[in-house]
Structure 1
Amino acid sequence: MKRKYMSSWGLAFAEEKEMKKLGEMAARGWHLEKFAPLGYTLVEGEPMDVRYSLDYRKQPDEDYFELFAASGWEHVTSTGDEIHVFKGSPDATPLYTDRQTTEEKYGQVERTMGRGALICLLLSLGFVFMLQLDWPQTAEAIILVLQTLVAIGLVFTGLPYLGYLVKRKRLERND
């Protein structure tokens, strides 16, 4: 079986665009197999006319997946036991049909990312303060490495937080 990597722009920024692209790839015979670092792994198969959609739910039970299956959506893959991708026929009822539940969907993941970003921001500020103190060279190097790792964590939580915040605010404005 041939496999192909498809990069991601980030679900917080381009969820609809990426789900549409996955559907286009399925029409060409490349189907979503699983999430990959910063993207997706696709596997070659028969061309199919499908639509992809995703949902955020921490530690879902069997009833969760059965509900979507009853609505014509097949579970494809999950990552982190929180982000779940489904595929359905082009005429399947959308996973979310009203603004309120869509806002709740994004609000939940926005809060999760916001908490992570806040923790990273506070740690980052703490390390910046610690670097202002007089430390032995080895300790300073360790603090600098930790500061860099926390800054990377801040990017990977802060940017999605802002993306989901903007997405949710747009939905609220359209009410």
Structure 2
Amino acid sequence: MKKVKYRIFLDYDKEERWINDMAEKGWHLEKFAPGRFVFRKGEPGAYIYRLEFVGNLPKEEKEEYVGILEDSGASIVHESFGWIYAKKPADGGPFELYTDAGSKIAYYNRILNTFLILFLVAIGGAGYNFSLARMTDIEAVPIASGVVCALSAFIIGVQMIKISRKKKKLQESFFE
């Protein structure tokens, strides 16, 4: 039996928790597309899921990392937009992708660097569209595009702040 759920997440930790909550109820992630999750009915609590950002890793490093995950008993459910959705049988023990603070901090830095580029592109797009609106007779389209870009920059900025706080908290505990 399959179940399709439509949901948009702006926070990958919340998305991971939700997927694991679904798994606890016996719904195991089978496919993913932005905003669309396909689950298959199975044994409740049989798998633990983790989301991992690998979007800015070189191809060889990504393949090596996926190999390490698979060697640990995990399997890749889906990969989309630089994110890997991995699962591991729950009876195989804990499924932690990072066991030390240093590697987790490096992971946060990878996400922040990618988000920074997206943030700057969105800010640039907003500025360009708002300035274009002042130079043309047709203002509605550039203003609407500028608002979308500004809203995107805001959402990305909020996520960057959240990740920066997690990183700072981890650094403080790591260097104490």
TM-score by length of 1: 0.79
In structure 2, C-alpha distance between the alignment counterparts of 1:134 and 1:10, rounded to whole Å: 34
Unpaired segments ≥5 residues, structure 2: none
What is the correspondence of 1:57-68 to structure 2 with a 5 Å cutoff? 57-58=54-55, 59=59, 61-68=62-69
Among residues 119, 125, 143, which one is paired with 2:121 in the alignment?
A: 119
Report the CA distance between 1:68 and its aligned residue.
0.6
Report the CA distance between 1:170 and its aligned residue.
1.8
4+ runs of 1 displaced by more than 6 Å? none
Report the CA distance between 1:67 and its aligned residue.
0.9
Report the CA distance between 1:101 and its aligned residue.
0.5
Taking a change above 3 Å as real, the CA distance of residues 20 and 129 of structure 1, as seen in their structure-2 partners, is closer
CA contact (8 A) 1:8 1:40 kept: no
Query: Are 1:167 and 2:169 counterparts?
Result: no
Taking a change above 3 Å as real, the CA distance of residues 42 and 6 of structure 1, as seen in their structure-2 partners, is farther
CA contact (8 A) 1:72 1:88 kept: yes
Q: Secondary structure at the match of 1:32?
A: strand
Query: Are 1:53 and 2:50 counterparts?
Result: yes
Report the RMSD for the aligned CA atoms in angstroms: 2.5
Encode CA deviations 1:44-66: one digit per residue, 9 max, x unaligned. Answer: 23434221112111346543222
In structure 2, C-alpha distance between the alignment counterparts of 1:84 and 1:38, rounded to whole Å: 15
Unpaired segments ≥5 residues, structure 1: none
Residue 7 of structure 1 corresponds to 7
Residue 74 of structure 2 corresponds to 73
Among the aligned pairs, what percent are the same residue?
A: 24
CA contact (8 A) 2:33 2:80 kept: no
CA contact (8 A) 1:72 1:93 kept: no
Taking a change above 3 Å as real, the CA distance of residues 6 and 29 of structure 1, as seen in their structure-2 partners, is farther
Taking a change above 3 Å as real, the CA distance of residues 34 and 164 of structure 1, as seen in their structure-2 partners, is farther
Among residues 20, 23, 27, which one is paired with 2:24 in the alignment?
A: 27
Q: Secondary structure at the match of 2:37?
A: strand
In structure 1, C-alpha distance between the alignment counterparts of 2:126 and 2:67, rounded to whole Å: 43
Structure number with the bigger relative contact order (C-alpha 8 A, sep ≥ 6) is 1
Q: Secondary structure at the match of 1:174?
A: helix
Report the CA distance between 1:31 and its aligned residue.
0.7
User: Which amino acid in the other structure matches residue 167 of structure 1?
Assistant: K
Query: Would you say how many aligned residue pairs link Structure 1 and Structure 2?
Result: 168
Q: Secondary structure at the match of 2:96?
A: coil
Encode CA deviations 1:57-113: one digit per residue, 9 max, x unaligned. Answer: 134654322211111211111111x11121113314521100111111111111111
